[in-house]
Amino acid sequence: MALYICSNCGYGSASWMGRCPDCGQWNTLVAQAEGKKKKNEAVKKLEITSLAKINPLAKSRQPTGIYEFDRVLGGGFVAGEVVLLTGEPGVGKSTLVLQSLQKTKALYISGEESAEQVKDRAQRLNINLDNFYFSDNLQVEGIVEGVENLGEKLDVLIIDSIQTVYSKDIDGTAGSISQLKETSARLISLAKKQKITVVLIGHITKEGEIAGPKTLEHFVDCVLNFEGERLSNFRLLRASKNRFGPTDEIGIFEMKGGGLVEISNPLVFLENNKELAPGKAIIGISEGKRVLFYEIQSLVANTAMPVPRRVIKGLDYNKSLLLLAVIKKYANIPLDKYYDVYVNVIGGFTVKSTGADLGFIASLMSSYKNAPLPPNSLYVGEVGLRGEVRSVRSEDKIIKEAGRLGFKKIFSSKNLKNIKDLTESFYKKSF
Ligand code: TYD
Ligand code: MG
């Protein structure tokens, strides 16, 4: 039986369709060749080795010299490692990579900018160009052969971006699923054979449609995501997968005229801490070894639709729906039928920690009642299905840091047992 695969998202179907039901693109389903029987191959003898006798890999790490980047990587680039760096266009991926190559012998393959543009930017960033090579050859076979015959060993190969390189042996335009798989497979094997670090840059779109680069996540050693809004200058670097390092560390940067600057002060995400407004709540959570503070904004408004709208940005969608049900049941706030709910984490960041639950609920209540939350208040806590407020990891550390930064009233499992208590304090105005 033939199988039709969507060249955009990888969806599979037994019959051909004009439009992919998964990603909605037209004319992307392509018949895949049926698996042919391979020619007779002799049975391979199983060779076994005692692992105890194998020498451990000498993991040679090469620090990038950018402390925040190294921390996320786990100490620097590992020889032979393949790193996928994803982010929205314009967030600063190329800049980050350029800045991290100061101490390494690097080849930069660019399908997006010309040599002059790259040099211009590198000079503006004050980057030493002595060990820096450039090519705009986007054919993967040519890149692999070129690197193998270079005559000197590269430390890092950067592909900017993986959506622009192609294999001559594969049909389909650069960036299609089949091209992405083939080109990255060849680059990964080059990395392992030559012990070069390969950095693949991949674009994702605002809606989080990472169908393309997402399919590569299983094959690479490390997946980094660079996030932040173009209008705000702050950027977060996170690892969602890391074979040679931690996944809970984050790197914080600010985009300035002279490139990305590292940030160590955690208060950066609060743009106007003093201003009081309905629907605004400040949360504190711990990520890696750091405590971070974010602002959640909610807007609860009467709906004109039979099914009210929920637009959630920066928080988990399903968790948010669950918390809306919890609010209805335990705080008696009926947002389910008559109200649209819009929620945003300021700065374009994504908060994954469950420690944001309490702040999310407080901001919804505040918008619903059209009353600001108390001045200098902070919300720290996970909320369970019974409405109970739970403690979170490193709660004491968050509270201590919050005190240092001038938060006066900290709501957490230490003073709230259930979100009911939060509603009561709202009615009594006795925060
Ligand atoms: P870039 O690294 O090209 O983004 P990406 O590779 O993710 O698409 O960064 C683009 C943005 O960064 C661009 O809007 C300009 C800004 N920028 C600065 O503000 N300062 C700088 O020094 C540089 C190099 C870029
Ligand atoms: Mg770029």
* pLDDT at residue 140 is higher than 90: yes
The CATH number of the domain where 312 resides is what? 3.30.230.10
Tell whether 238 and 317 lie within a shared domain: no
Q: How far apart, in whole angstroms, are the C-alpha atoms of residue 237 and residue 97?
A: 12
Query: What pLDDT, in 10s, does the model give residues 46-68?
Result: 988 888 887 766 667 889 989 99
- On whether residue 410 sits in a domain, the answer given is yes
And the tokens for 245?
A: 């390092």
Query: What pLDDT, in 10s, does the model give residues 259-292?
Result: 999 887 655 456 555 678 899 999 999 887 788 8
Tell whether 69 and 193 lie within a shared domain: yes
Tell whether 343 and 250 lie within a shared domain: no
Pocket of ligand 1 (CB under 6 A): 87, 89-95, 121, 124-125, 255, 257-259
Q: How far apart, in whole angstroms, are the C-alpha atoms of residue 2 and residue 286?
A: 50
In the reported structure, the alpha carbon of residue 131 is separated from the centroid of ligand 1 by a whole-number distance in angstroms of 22
pLDDT at 49: 82
pLDDT at 285: 92
Of 196, 227, 262, the one marking the end of a domain is 262
Q: Atom 9 of ligand 1 has which residue's CA nearest to it?
A: 92
Tell whether 349 and 416 lie within a shared domain: yes
In the reported structure, the alpha carbon of residue 87 is separated from the centroid of ligand 1 by a whole-number distance in angstroms of 12
51 contacts: CB under 8 Å, gap ≥ 6? none
Confidence label for 431 from pLDDT (cuts 50, 70 and 90): very low
Ligand 1 pocket test, pick from 84, 94, 95, 204 with the greatest ligand atom count within 8 Å of Cβ, gives 95
282 contacts: CB under 8 Å, gap ≥ 6? 270, 273, 293, 294, 295, 296, 359, 377, 378, 379, 407
* pLDDT at residue 299 is higher than 90: yes
User: Between these two residues, 272 and 226, which has the higher pLDDT value?
Assistant: 226
Tell whether 126 and 67 lie within a shared domain: yes
Q: Atom 13 of ligand 1 has which residue's CA nearest to it?
A: 90
Ligand 1 pocket test, pick from 255, 256, 260, 261 with the greatest ligand atom count within 8 Å of Cβ, gives 255
Tell whether 222 and 303 lie within a shared domain: no
Instruction: List CB-based neighbours of ion ligand 2 within 5 Å.
Output: 94
Q: Atom 22 of ligand 1 has which residue's CA nearest to it?
A: 259
If one counts every other C-beta atom within 10 angstroms of the C-beta of residue 58, the result is 6
Tell whether 18 and 141 lie within a shared domain: no
105 contacts: CB under 8 Å, gap ≥ 6? 131, 152, 153, 154, 155, 156
Report the atom number in ligand 1 closest to the C-alpha of 91. Answer: 7
- On whether residue 46 sits in a domain, the answer given is no
Tell whether 223 and 77 lie within a shared domain: yes
- On whether residue 48 sits in a domain, the answer given is no
Work out whether the CA dihedral 303, 307, 313, 319 comes out positive or negative. positive
Tell whether 130 and 90 lie within a shared domain: yes
In the reported structure, the alpha carbon of residue 90 is separated from the centroid of ligand 2 by a whole-number distance in angstroms of 7
User: Mean pLDDT across the stretch 350-357?
Assistant: 92
HEC-encoded secondary structure of 138-167: CEHHHHHHHHHCCCCCCCEEEEECCCCCEC
Q: How far apart, in whole angstroms, are the C-alpha atoms of residue 115 and residue 276?
A: 49
- On whether residue 270 sits in a domain, the answer given is no
Confidence label for 430 from pLDDT (cuts 50, 70 and 90): very low
Work out whether the CA dihedral 388, 397, 364, 240 comes out positive or negative. negative
Q: How far apart, in whole angstroms, are the C-alpha atoms of residue 328 and residue 387?
A: 10
Global pTM value: 0.76
Q: How far apart, in whole angstroms, are the C-alpha atoms of residue 289 and residue 396?
A: 13
Q: Which domain holds residue 110?
A: 59-262
List, as one string, the DSSP characters of 164-189: T-B-TTS-S-TTSHHHHHHHHHHHHH
Tell whether 286 and 212 lie within a shared domain: no
Ligand closest to 121 (CA) is 1
Number of domains in the chain: 3
User: Between these two residues, 140 and 406, which has the higher pLDDT value?
Assistant: 140
- On whether residue 340 sits in a domain, the answer given is yes
- On whether residue 43 sits in a domain, the answer given is no
Report the atom number in ligand 1 closest to the C-alpha of 124. Answer: 22
Ligand closest to 92 (CA) is 1
19 secondary structure, DSSP code: B
Tell whether 223 and 135 lie within a shared domain: yes
- On whether residue 49 sits in a domain, the answer given is no
pLDDT at 85: 95
* pLDDT at residue 197 is higher than 50: yes
Q: 149-158, 336-345, 420-429: which range is least confident on average?
A: 420-429
Tell whether 315 and 410 lie within a shared domain: yes
Tokens 């939060």 correspond to: 422
- On whether residue 271 sits in a domain, the answer given is no
Confidence label for 13 from pLDDT (cuts 50, 70 and 90): confident
HSE (side-chain half, CA atoms, 13 Å) at 130: 4
In the reported structure, the alpha carbon of residue 11 is separated from the centroid of ligand 1 by a whole-number distance in angstroms of 33
Report the atom number in ligand 1 closest to the C-alpha of 95. Answer: 2
